[in-house]
Amino acid sequence: MADTIFAKIIAGEAPCHRVFEDDQVLAFLDIFPISRGHTLVIPKEPAVRLHELSDASSAAIGAVLPRICRAVLRATGAVDYNILQNNGAAAHQAVMHVHFHIIPKYADGSGLGVGWKPAKLDGDEAAALATSIAAMLA
């Protein structure tokens, strides 16, 4: 875990273009941006995937993420944007440390492209699945 590039950035052992930092959160520009202002927001806690993050660290990110989004929008002039949060290699996670992408979307098309192939929700299966997920939360 401590070997990821993001752990090195947190430790000050690798450089970044920092835009925000507090005790629990760091935000900096993505080094290979897919649009102008592409920013990463990461917890300092060393978790790989979002569901492994503590409640305290989750809350700390949630408290500042919209504020960082506002700053990115004001600085770039972008109006639309995506939040992307990948978990696991098959889900396109390349750096194994939790991170949220803030990706402005511009009129020239730069920004996140989404491959979205919706299926129809089956009523019976949906009822069972919702019940099962709710039970897991209880």
Catalytic residue list contains 51: no
- Least Å from the CB of residue 133 to ligand AMP: 24
CA atoms within 13 A on the CB side of 101: 23
- Least Å from the CB of residue 8 to ligand AMP: 8
- Least Å from the CB of residue 20 to ligand AMP: 14
Of residues 52 and 122, the one with the C-beta less far from ligand AMP: 52
Question: Which letter, b or e, does each residue of 101-117 get, where b requires 16 or more Cβ atoms within 10 Å of its Cβ?
Answer: bbbbbbeeebbeeeeee
| Residues at the site binding ligand AMP, with contacts judged by CB under 6 A | 5, 14, 16, 30-32, 40, 86, 92-95
Of residues 13 and 125, the one with the C-beta less far from ligand AMP: 13
The token pair that represents 60 in the structure block = 């700390």
Of residues 90 and 94, the one with the C-beta less far from ligand AMP: 94
- The strand ranges marked E within the chain are 18-21, 25-29, 39-43, 80-84, 100-105
90-93: long-range contacts, CB 8 A cutoff, minimum separation 24: 93/49
DSSP one-letter code for 36? T
Of the residues 38, 97, 99, 101, only one is catalytic, namely 99
Q: Catalytic site residues?
A: 99
